[in-house]
Amino acid sequence: MNLSVTFSNGTASFNEGFYLTAFQTLPTKNYLILGLAIIYIITLLGNLVLLSVVLMNSSLQNPKYLAVCNLAVVDISINSVIIPQMVPVFVFNQNYISFGACFSQMFFMHFFGDMESFSLALLAYDRLIAICWPLRYSTINTNLRMLLIIALIWILVTLLDIFPVIFASRLPYCSSRAVLSCCCEHGPVYRLACTDTTYNRQLGTVKTMITLLGPLFFIVFTYVIVVIAVMRIASVTQRWKAFHTCLTHMMLVMLYYMPVIIAYVLGNLRLVQNVDLLTAILTVSVTVPAMLNPIIYSLKTDELKERMVKLFRQSKVAQQIIKTEVKALQQ
């Protein structure tokens, strides 16, 4: 996706790019990059193990785990867009990024960031059907229907994110090219344009409201219905079981929304004056949930935990058999 080929940016040359200038006043920059690298490695390992366990167990290939796998793919993607490119930029000071690469990164970063909230809303939908209509779950929420919903979400988020990026790429950037961020975010980039950017700001705000608050309101709505349905259950044991099935998802929702909300409050209320420190807080708040999501799901979901333990035991048994055979051949 090379936006610079398709759209003119109002400058004389498409070869003029941008310079990422974040963390210049941050004394612990190298420790931050090291921490993000560790976050990225754990993100890859955790989500790839989760995907492998689901793919290797046919009993887990149901609508619920299709939604979980969708979240795992999004988690890998969002951190892959943000973290690897930061190493050459802030470790080796190769902070130049071409015009096309900048806007491509802008699209995919916002796309997968927004997919995170929609993926959590999808899991809320699955829990709603499972708790409120348990006897009809297998007919209402089929694998095909879940795949269609996932496809529609990807298309919707693409349409929501493509237009702010396209309009930002058409602006004339005829003065500063220093982006005060660690990535080509929409806000820090379009503010560099030497023209009126009111429309871009309004478009970005509306898009953020839709992609961040829209799924959140849907999640809250589903949990209100779930609570009403659960309170009608006579058995206290059955009530707790129903709430327990939602516990993991509630943890993921809080893990995603709370750091983002806190980071934006800190920025808007000027509680953090250092721009580099605020950028670091935002970066960590976006990348940490993708690392912790598979860990929380693996530990809090009994079915998935059992399959993982069984898989690791089988691998240990296989290794022991191989070692025994090797020793027998050596003798």
CA nearest to 131, candidates 64, 215, 60? 64
Q: Count CB-CB contacts under 10 A for residue 269.
A: 8
What per-residue confidence (pLDDT) applies to 83?
92
Nearest-angstrom CA–CA distance, 158 and 136? 32
Q: Count CB-CB contacts under 10 A for residue 169.
A: 24
CATH code of the domain occupying 19-300:
1.20.1070.10
What per-residue confidence (pLDDT) applies to 11?
44
**Contacting residues for 168 by C-beta, under 8 A, at least 6 apart:** 103, 106, 186, 189, 190, 193, 200
**Contacting residues for 17 by C-beta, under 8 A, at least 6 apart:** 96, 97, 98, 99, 101, 102, 177
Assess contact for 49 and 305: CB atoms under 8 A: no
Nearest-angstrom CA–CA distance, 67 and 112? 15
What per-residue confidence (pLDDT) applies to 278?
81
In tens, the pLDDT along 10-52 reads 444 444 789 988 887 878 888 888 999 999 999 999 999 899 8
List the chain residues with pLDDT less than 70.
1-15, 234, 267-270, 272, 299-305, 308-309, 311-331
In 128-254, which ranges are E strands?
Answer: 178-179
Q: What one-letter code names the amino acid at 258?
A: M
Nearest-angstrom CA–CA distance, 112 and 79? 9
What per-residue confidence (pLDDT) applies to 234?
60
What per-residue confidence (pLDDT) applies to 302?
65
- 87: its two tokens: 């190493």
Q: Count CB-CB contacts under 10 A for residue 95.
A: 18
CA count, 13 A, side-chain hemisphere, 256: 27
* 171 to 109, 184, 200, 213, 294: CA distances (angstroms): 20, 15, 9, 28, 40
Q: What one-letter code names the amino acid at 55?
A: L
Nearest-angstrom CA–CA distance, 242 and 137? 14
In tens, the pLDDT along 289-327 reads 999 988 887 766 666 667 766 766 665 554 555 555 545
Angle ∠(261,267,269) on CA atoms, nearest 5: 95
Q: What one-letter code names the amino acid at 192?
A: L
CA count, 13 A, side-chain hemisphere, 95: 16
> Tokens 């916002």 belong to which residue?
110
**Strand-pair partners of 97:** 18
Three-state DSSP at 116 gives helix
Nearest-angstrom CA–CA distance, 317 and 248? 31
What per-residue confidence (pLDDT) applies to 294?
87
Domain coordinates in residue numbering, the chain: 19-300
